[in-house]
């Protein structure tokens, strides 16, 4: 077993376990913490795939940003409601069945597909390539993203304003 | 290591997220499930990018991450707003979509 | 000026007056000024018609302009056709219109200025329309003006539109005449389908050349005659004319006695060459005319309203004219139209003077008026004598011609009906004369003779009636019919008998009116109920037409539209049922998404 | 392009749209400015329509003032406009009606800027339909003309009293019969159903013609398969017929017209119903000669039903607006009958009736609006004696009524008479008789209404005292419409000349003329 394989299986284990914990934990707060773990593990997967920049972004934005916001939200909500937020599941059997069916079919699909067995060797710096593409090929979506953020910002402000 | 294990890992992650979204009672819980699903997508994107040598996948993943952050922020804002109005975040009670 | 220009001038002057009154409200609201304008215009028309009548060339004059264009020449034209027939009618219409408009200045002196302006605007429109009808050179134009005079009749009957009776009478007049006009317009359309033209001259040419297809022509001419039945108040469409007396009396004199109601007779005379091709229709016209004359005369016997007596007598006299036309004596019928136009206008205007003075239409509230209004009594007597057909009044000659024509035409039974009508006419007219002007009881109030503006026209008409008769008598009566010698004696004898009988009954009271009524009880009752025709029509209108319309309306609303609503209600219900699967919870929808995803995957796998 | 280089039809079509934009963006909260913009932009359309009418060369005939801008070349969609004798008259009609409509609704209070903006947008759609030669753009304009109606009726409309009864009473109760929302929804659903048929028909022809162009002129050259023609004609007949109010698809119209605000009723009954008839004549008969021959018996027979049935239904109504609305159903029968005769006289009569009825019914709805506004009642049998208080309105109403019953010297007579002539010369000459009977029934119900409302004494119960006559801007509308009625009744050739230049080639295409 190569180092890569070992890393992959290890990370996969952590990732799946923490993900299950996210959706099953009774405590919302714990769920969020498990999410953070899952996200960091994903960053690890990215590293395995030699996408260092994305791994960094994942950790900084996702694990940092998202988790912080969610924690905030929980705190705010709990203060409003005045009690610990309970977190239960409902229709576990049906949900599980449907999810499992989806999983099975995706896996069957993947198993049937012809996929490359090994990654091609890397040519050049991926981060550099991202930077160049972002400002050339994908400059329009990139700018549109800015507009989207602006809209999101306005929306958040709108929601957050004081009740009239 | 081929592409297949990565895709299967992403599929597992995705279905776990789906399970969460389908079963969680709490709106915040649902949002967490969505995060997992999106994360699965990212894994797919990055894996494909690596195995095909096309940087577009990476950039898509970048976009996804950025947009997800915005989405989470807005989603939570909406949850809080709903909470203010309806005094609950129980998804069962949120049936405003009903015709 | 040539004949065409004169005719156009006669036609155009009232039109200009109407347009001015219609579009310049201040002028209309000025009342008497509007009247002056209208009278000046019709005066000009009268002048033009008189000049035209004197200078008329032997050949008829025809001018046409395209009206409805079509590929390869106009489909319909407008124009004027002036011949002796049109010219004489033109003079009659212009003259009576002029006198009546003048008379109205006095008769309607108490109206408000806007109402008076409106009255004269209608009158100008009527003069224009009637002159246009007379001058029409084709069937379409004839129909156009035919309807326009009908409109004026409607508007003028309803002049006092706040009176419910007047409103009802106006609408009734329009409907009944319109019913006849349905036949007229279908006839025109059919004739066009047959001959391809509306033009009188073209049709006459075809009739003369025998190129007009005769198949179905009888039906066409019958349909055209139906128009005349409505307009000229022939049985069974005569019911509107007595009710039309709700209008101001001058209007009755002009429209419902002298001119418009004669339009049917004029129509038949105008297109007589076409009617000559269909002898069956002519015979029908004669029979219906004579029957109408008799029927209306019996109705005239029992009326208490002076204007209604005159109205029934108008119907009766129109029957005379139609009978003459039907018997083939077109000239006699038209001659009677002209003389009747004069003396009936005179009678109506005289009655108007009486009504104006007494303030009621009821003859039993009048009496001994010859003392209070001698002038009116004299002119009314002149008119009555003319109507009764006493020598040497104009009516004698024309009635004589009609009777002779009918006899010569071989319509023996209609002739007997008409002879009986002569007797009845004299009787019911002198009944009015004796009751109103003589009698034993004086009228209520303080009646007085009318001012000059009203008596002037009366005298003019009286002088014309008498003068024309005297001139005819002097000239030996060239228009006199070529019938047997005994006919004038018979007619005069019957008329005198009628007068004497009326004198015995209503002046001397030697014969009791009540006893007469008892003797002819069934007839008396029937006449009082107008032979139940009005009830019949009322029943058809209210029961059949309105009832059926209500049924259709109900079907539309509740069955046709009900089905639509049923479809809509079902859709709503189904939607309501389907709505239940929409719980409104995002997660339930997500299940749908998951199933969809599954489907897509399975489908793409098995493809 | 256009006329001496001026894209005159485009200007006519889009001037109201520009007006609508100006109203929405500049004249908020300035009611007078809203009305002035409306009057000026529709006035521009009116003046230019008159110019087009005068400049049209009847000698040359055919489509004139041609403009074309390619929009989607691969699909053969282009903005292609031109006018022939028929479009010419209908464009003139539309501009007259909307111009008077702007004045007739001068007193609209609530949300007047939106009202005027929607009205003007709608008119752009109407103009567009009449001048478009590209079937795709034609359809777009058609929808543009139909859809704003929903809002116009739903927001500014008024509700009527309809008692649910009969075996379908429960259904009527459930759908809310009588309310303005019901009327708006019913009208929209009906018309959209119709446009679904039309769209299918247009696409079928587009495909059959080779799928390269939506241009009317090019489709005219294509010889379609007779079987296709038969079915597509039926699609067009039903689709456009809904808008033209053919029996039994007419029931949206009384409810819609009765609920709509004044200007909308005017426009809708006056112009929009003509869109339907125009579509049948232009697309149905113009493109599908054999289909026309297959179905003309049906078109004419249903038209006679329309005439008599509409008149009888009108007679049964007690609500003034319903009377007028049903009279439109009856009069649209004359239009369809004239078209179905396939004769020169009949077809000219049909187009003339489109114009005449448009003006007449526009006048009627304007008047009904005025009466309602002043008396706050539409119940005929509760009114009476209004002639004394509002002589102007009474005169105009009478004139409209006379035109309606086909009195000579009004435009209604010319139209009806031409149709009668055509009916008698057609293959089904019996059509003449119900048509003539219809005019008599019209006389009955119109004069009955006039007598009831304007004649007689004012009811004593004191509801209707000192009602004012029409005034100011309202007179502009009434006088204009009355003038047009009388003008086209007395000198009909000014309209028949251009119409004839369009109908004769159409009849030649239909093979009923050498």
Answer whether A touches D (≥3 Cβ pairs < 8 Å).
Answer: no
The model's pLDDT over D80-116, given as tens digits with 9 standing for 90+, comes to 888 888 998 999 999 999 888 888 888 777 777 888 8
Q: CB under 8 Å to C333, separation ≥6 — which residues?
A: C265, C268, C269, C320, C321, C322, C323, C324, C325, C402, C405
Give the single-character DSSP code of B3: S
Q: What percent of chain D has pLDDT over 70?
A: 98
b/e map of C251-278 (b: 16 or more CB within 10 Å)?
Answer: bbbbbbbbbbbbbbbbbbbbbbbbbebb
Side-chain-side CA neighbours of residue D208 (13 Å): 21
Question: Which residues of chain C lie closer than 8 angstroms to B98, CB-CB?
Answer: 582-584
Strand pairing of D64-72 and D77-83? antiparallel
Question: How far D320 CA sits from the closest chain C CA (Å)?
Answer: 14
Mutation choice for A interface testing from B17, B46, B64 by most A CBs within 10 A: B46
What are the DSSP calls for D420-479, one per residue?
HHHHHHSS-GGGHHHHHHHHHHHHHHHHHHHHHHHSSPPPTTSSSSS-----THHHHHHH
Interval C33-55 mean pLDDT: 90
Longest Cα separation, chain B:
51
Task: Using a CB–CB cutoff of 8 Å, tell me whether B40 touches chain C.
Answer: no
Contact D334, D244 (CB under 8 A): no
The domain limits of chain B are 4-87
pLDDT tier for residue C97 given thresholds of 50, 70 and 90 = very high
Say how far apart CA A139 and CA B68 lie, in whole Å. Answer: 19
Longest Cα separation, chain C:
122
* Three-class SS state of C259: coil
Would you say residue B97 has pLDDT above 60? no
> Which of A119, A155, A156 is facing B51, going by the closest CB pair?
A119
Contact C459, C379 (CB under 8 A): yes
CB atoms within 10 A of CB D305: 15
pLDDT given at position D467: 76
* Burial class of A54 by CB neighbour count within 10 A (0 to 12, 13 to 18, 19+): buried
The model's pLDDT over B3-38, given as tens digits with 9 standing for 90+, comes to 888 999 999 999 999 998 888 888 888 888 888 999
The model's pLDDT over C413-435, given as tens digits with 9 standing for 90+, comes to 888 988 899 999 988 888 888 88
Backbone φ, ψ for residue D83 (5° rounding): -130, 135
Question: Which residues of chain B lie closer than 8 angstroms to A145, CB-CB?
Answer: 63, 66-67
Asked casually if ipTM beats, i.e. exceeds, 0.85, the reply is: no
Which DSSP helix (H) or strand (E) runs through D70? strand D64-72
Would you say residue D17 has pLDDT above 70? yes
> Which of B42, B52, B87 is facing A42, going by the closest CB pair?
B42
Say how far apart CA D114 and CA D111 lie, in whole Å. Answer: 6
Strand pairing of D64-72 and C61-68? unpaired
Question: How far B82 CA sits from the closest chain C CA (Å)?
Answer: 14
Side-chain-side CA neighbours of residue D59 (13 Å): 1
- C123 token code pair: 């009158």
pLDDT tier for residue C44 given thresholds of 50, 70 and 90 = very high
Report B:27-56 residues touching A (Cβ under 8 A): 28-29, 31-33, 35-36, 39, 42-43, 46-47, 49-53, 55-56
Would you say residue C56 has pLDDT above 60? yes
Say how far apart CA C250 and CA A153 lie, in whole Å. Answer: 88
> Which of D169, D408, D444 is facing C148, going by the closest CB pair?
D408
pLDDT given at position D197: 92
The model's pLDDT over C180-216, given as tens digits with 9 standing for 90+, comes to 999 999 999 998 888 888 888 888 888 888 888 878 8
Alpha helices in C24-138 (DSSP H): 25-29, 32-54, 84-107, 113-135
- Residue from D93, D36, D40 nearest D358 by CA: D93
Is A66 within 8 Å of B79 when comparing Cβ atoms? no
Residue at token pair 């002898």 = C279
Say how far apart CA D144 and CA D140 lie, in whole Å. Answer: 6
* Burial class of A21 by CB neighbour count within 10 A (0 to 12, 13 to 18, 19+): middle
Question: Which residues of chain A lie closer than 8 angstroms to C595, CB-CB?
Answer: 98
User: Which residues are B59's β-sheet partners?
Assistant: none
pLDDT tier for residue D3 given thresholds of 50, 70 and 90 = low
At the top level of CATH, which class does the domain B4-87 belong to?
mainly alpha
What are the DSSP calls for D195-247, one per residue?
HHHHHHHHHHHHHHTTSS--BHHHHHHS---HHHHHHHHHHHHHHHHHHHT-T
Say how far apart CA D111 and CA D128 lie, in whole Å. Answer: 26
pLDDT given at position D311: 92
Chains touching D (at least 3 CB pairs under 8 A) are C
Is D425 within 8 Å of C193 when comparing Cβ atoms? yes
Say how far apart CA C527 and CA A3 lie, in whole Å. Answer: 128
Question: How far B24 CA sits from the closest chain C CA (Å)?
Answer: 9
> Which of B9, B49, B74 is facing A152, going by the closest CB pair?
B74
CATH 3.20.20.60 fits A1-89, yes or no: no
- Radius of gyration for chain B, computed over Cα atoms and rounded to the nearest angstrom: 16
What are the DSSP calls for D103-121, one per residue?
HHTTT--TTHHHHHHHHHH
Task: Using a CB–CB cutoff of 8 Å, tell me whether B2 touches chain C.
Answer: no
Query: Lowest-confidence range among A76-90, C238-252, D204-218, D227-241?
Result: A76-90
The domain limits of chain A are 1-89, 123-164
Would you say residue A17 has pLDDT above 90? yes
Would you say residue C478 has pLDDT above 60? no
pLDDT given at position A164: 55
- Residue from D467, D127, D407 nearest D272 by CA: D127
User: Which residues are C64's β-sheet partners?
Assistant: C79
* Burial class of D127 by CB neighbour count within 10 A (0 to 12, 13 to 18, 19+): buried
Angle in degrees, 0-180, between the axes of helices D226-244 and D180-208, rounded to the nearest 10: 160
How far from C440 is each of C147, C377, C428, C433, CA to CA, in Å?
A: 46, 16, 18, 12
The model's pLDDT over D294-325, given as tens digits with 9 standing for 90+, comes to 899 999 999 999 999 999 999 988 888 889 88
Give the single-character DSSP code of D3: B
pLDDT tier for residue C145 given thresholds of 50, 70 and 90 = very high
Is C70 within 8 Å of D500 when comparing Cβ atoms? yes
- D323 token code pair: 């009377």
The model's pLDDT over D393-444, given as tens digits with 9 standing for 90+, comes to 888 999 999 998 888 888 889 999 999 999 998 888 899 999 999 999 999 9
- D134 token code pair: 């590209």
Say how far apart CA B10 and CA A103 lie, in whole Å. Answer: 10
Q: CB under 8 Å to D87, separation ≥6 — which residues?
A: D130, D131, D278, D502
The model's pLDDT over C363-421, given as tens digits with 9 standing for 90+, comes to 888 877 888 888 888 888 888 988 888 878 888 888 888 888 888 888 888 889 888 99
Task: Using a CB–CB cutoff of 8 Å, tell me whether A106 touches chain C.
Answer: yes
pLDDT tier for residue A81 given thresholds of 50, 70 and 90 = low
Chains touching B (at least 3 CB pairs under 8 A) are A, C
User: Which residues are D319's β-sheet partners?
Assistant: D379
Highest mean pLDDT among C144-158, D367-381, D453-467: C144-158
């Amino acid at each position: 077993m190569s180092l890569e394989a070992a890393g992959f299986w290890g990370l996969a284990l952590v990732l799946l376990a923490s993900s299950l914990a996210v959706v099953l934990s009774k405590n919302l707060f714990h769920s969020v913490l498990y999410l953070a773990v899952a996200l960091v593990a994903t960053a690890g997967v990215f590293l395995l795939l030699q996408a260092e920049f994305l791994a960094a972004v994942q950790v900084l934005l996702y694990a940092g940003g998202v988790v912080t916001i969610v924690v905030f939200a929980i705190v705010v909500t709990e203060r409003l409601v005045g009690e610990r937020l309970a977190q239960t599941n409902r229709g576990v059997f049906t949900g599980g069945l449907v999810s499992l069916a989806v999983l099975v079919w995706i896996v069957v699909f993947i198993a049937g597909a012809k996929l490359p067995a090994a990654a091609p060797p890397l040519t050049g710096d991926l981060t550099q390539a991202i930077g160049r593409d972002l400002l050339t090929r994908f400059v329009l979506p990139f700018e549109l993203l800015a507009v989207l953020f602006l809209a999101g910002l306005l929306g958040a402000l709108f929601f957050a304003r004081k009740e009239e | 290591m081929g592409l297949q294990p990565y895709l299967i890992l992403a599929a597992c992650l995705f279905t776990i997220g789906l399970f969460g979204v389908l079963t969680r009672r709490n709106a915040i819980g649902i949002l967490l499930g969505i995060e997992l699903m999106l994360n699965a997508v990212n894994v797919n994107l990055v894996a494909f990018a690596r195995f095909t040598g096309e940087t577009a996948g990476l950039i898509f993943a970048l976009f996804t991450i950025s947009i997800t952050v915005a989405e989470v922020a807005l989603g939570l804002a909406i949850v809080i707003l709903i909470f203010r109005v309806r005094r609950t975040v129980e998804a069962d009670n949120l049936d405003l979509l009903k015709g | 000026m040539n004949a065409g220009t004169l005719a156009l001038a006669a036609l155009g002057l009232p039109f200009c007056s109407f347009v001015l009154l219609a579009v310049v409200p201040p002028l209309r609201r000025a009342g008497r000024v509007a009247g002056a304008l209208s009278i000046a215009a019709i005066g000009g028309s009268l002048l033009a018609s008189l000049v035209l009548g004197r200078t008329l060339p032997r050949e008829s004059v025809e001018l046409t302009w395209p009206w409805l264009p079509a590929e390869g020449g106009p489909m319909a034209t407008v124009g004027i056709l002036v011949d002796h027939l049109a010219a004489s009618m033109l003079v009659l219409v212009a003259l009576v219109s002029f006198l009546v408009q003048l008379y109205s200045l006095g008769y309607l002196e108490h109206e408000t200025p806007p109402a008076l302006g409106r009255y004269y605007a209608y009158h100008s429109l009527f003069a224009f329309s009637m002159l246009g009808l007379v001058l029409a050179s084709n069937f379409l134009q004839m129909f156009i003006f035919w309807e326009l005079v009908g409109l004026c009749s409607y508007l003028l009957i309803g002049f006092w539109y706040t009176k419910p009776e007047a409103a009802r009478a106006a609408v009734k007049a329009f409907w009944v005449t319109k019913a006849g006009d349905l036949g007229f317009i279908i006839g025109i359309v059919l004739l066009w389908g047959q001959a391809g033209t509306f033009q009188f001259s073209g049709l006459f040419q075809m009739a003369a050349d025998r190129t007009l297809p005769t198949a179905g022509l009888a039906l066409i001419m019958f349909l055209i005659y139906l128009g005349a039945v409505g307009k000229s108040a022939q049985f069974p469409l005569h019911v509107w004319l007595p009710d039309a007396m709700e209008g101001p009396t001058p209007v009755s004199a002009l429209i419902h006695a002298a001119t418009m109601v004669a339009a049917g007779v004029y129509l038949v005379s105008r297109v007589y060459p076409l009617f000559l091709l269909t002898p069956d229709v002519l015979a029908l016209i004669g029979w219906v005319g004579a029957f109408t004359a008799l029927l209306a005369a019996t109705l005239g016997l029992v009326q208490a309203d002076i204007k209604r007596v005159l109205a029934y007598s108008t119907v009766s006299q129109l029957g005379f004219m139609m009978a003459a036309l039907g018997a083939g004596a077109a000239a006699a019928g038209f001659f009677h139209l002209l003389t009747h136009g004069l003396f009936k206008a005179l009678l109506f205007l005289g009655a108007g003077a009486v009504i104006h003075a007494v303030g009621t239409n009821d003859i039993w509230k009048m009496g001994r008026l010859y003392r209070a209004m001698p002038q009116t009594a004299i002119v009314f007597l002149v008119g009555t004598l003319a109507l009764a057909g006493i020598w040497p009044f104009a009516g004698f000659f024309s009635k004589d011609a009609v009777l002779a024509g009918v006899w010569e035409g071989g319509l023996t039974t209609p002739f007997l009906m008409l002879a009986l009508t002569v007797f009845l006419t004299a009787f019911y007219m002198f009944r009015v004369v004796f009751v109103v002007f003589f009698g034993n009881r004086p009228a209520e109030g303080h009646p007085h003779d009318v001012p000059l503006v009203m008596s002037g026209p009366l005298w003019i008409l009286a002088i014309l009636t008498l003068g024309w008769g005297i001139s005819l008598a002097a000239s030996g009566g060239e228009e006199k019919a070529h019938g047997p010698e005994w006919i004038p004696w018979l007619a005069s004898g019957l008329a005198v008998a009628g007068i004497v009988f009326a004198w015995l009954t209503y002046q001397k009271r030697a014969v009791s009116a009540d006893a007469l009524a008892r003797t002819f009880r069934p007839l008396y009752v029937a006449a009082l109920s107008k032979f139940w025709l009005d009830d019949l029509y009322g029943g058809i209108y209210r029961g059949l037409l309105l009832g059926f319309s209500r049924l259709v309306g109900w079907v539309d609303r509740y069955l046709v539209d009900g089905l639509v609503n049923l479809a809509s209600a079902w859709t709503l219900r189904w939607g309501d049922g389907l709505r239940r699967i929409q719980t409104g919870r995002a997660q339930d929808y997500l299940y749908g998404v998951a199933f969809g995803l599954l489907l897509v995957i399975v489908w793409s796998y098995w493809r | 392009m256009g006329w001496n280089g001026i894209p005159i039809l485009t200007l006519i079509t889009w001037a109201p749209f520009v007006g609508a934009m100006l109203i929405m963006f500049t004249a908020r909260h300035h009611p007078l400015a809203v009305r002035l913009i409306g009057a000026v932009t529709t006035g521009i359309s009116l003046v230019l329509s008159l110019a087009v009418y005068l400049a049209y060369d009847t000698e040359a005939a055919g489509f004139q003032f041609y403009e074309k801008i390619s929009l989607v070349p691969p699909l053969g969609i282009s903005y292609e406009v031109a006018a022939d004798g028929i479009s010419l008259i209908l464009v003139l009609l539309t501009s007259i009606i909307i111009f008077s409509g702007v004045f007739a609704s001068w007193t609209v209070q609530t949300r007047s800027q939106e009202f005027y903006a929607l009205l003007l947008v709608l008119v752009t759609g109407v103009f567009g339909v009449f001048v478009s030669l590209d079937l795709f753009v034609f359809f777009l304009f058609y929808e543009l003309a139909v859809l704003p109606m929903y809002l116009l009726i739903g927001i500014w409309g008024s509700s009527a009293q309809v008692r649910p009864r009969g075996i379908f009473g429960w259904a009527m109760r459930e759908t809310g019969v009588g309310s303005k929302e019901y009327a708006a929804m019913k009208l929209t659903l009906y018309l959209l159903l119709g446009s679904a048929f039309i769209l299918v028909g247009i696409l079928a022809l587009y495909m059959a013609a080779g799928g390269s162009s939506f241009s009317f002129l090019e489709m005219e050259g294509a010889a379609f398969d007779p079987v296709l023609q038969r079915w597509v004609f039926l699609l067009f007949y039903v689709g456009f017929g809904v808008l033209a109010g053919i029996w039994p698809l007419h029931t949206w119209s009384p409810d819609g017209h009765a609920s709509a605000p004044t200007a909308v009723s005017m426009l809708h009954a006056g112009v929009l119903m003509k869109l339907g008839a125009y579509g049948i004549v232009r697309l149905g008969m113009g493109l599908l000669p054999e289909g026309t021959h297959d179905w003309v018996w049906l078109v004419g027979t249903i038209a006679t039903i329309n005439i008599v049935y509409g008149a009888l239904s009108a007679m049964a109504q007690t609500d003034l607006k319903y009377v007028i609305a049903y009279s439109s159903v009856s009069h649209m029968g004359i239009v369809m009958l004239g078209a179905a005769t396939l004769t020169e006289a009949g077809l000219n009569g049909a187009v003339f009736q489109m114009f005449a009825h448009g003006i007449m019914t526009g006048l009627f709805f304007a008047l009904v609006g005025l009466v309602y506004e002043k008396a706050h009642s539409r119940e005929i049998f509760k009114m009476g004696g209004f002639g004394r208080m509002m002589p102007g309105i009474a005169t105009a109403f009478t004139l409209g009524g006379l035109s309606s019953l086909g009195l000579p010297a009004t435009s209604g007579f010319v139209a009806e008479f031409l149709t009668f002539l055509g009916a008698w010369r057609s293959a089904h000459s019996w059509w003449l008789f119900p048509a003539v009977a219809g005019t008599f029934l019209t006389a009955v119900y119109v004069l009955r209404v006039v007598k009831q409302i304007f004649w007689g004494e004012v009811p004593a119960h004191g509801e209707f005292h000192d009602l004012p006559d029409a005034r100011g801007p309202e007179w502009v509308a009434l006088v204009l419409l009355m003038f047009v009625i009388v003008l086209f009744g007395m000198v009909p050739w000014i309209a028949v000349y251009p119409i004839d230049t369009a109908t004769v080639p159409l009849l030649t295409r239909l093979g009923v003329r050498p």
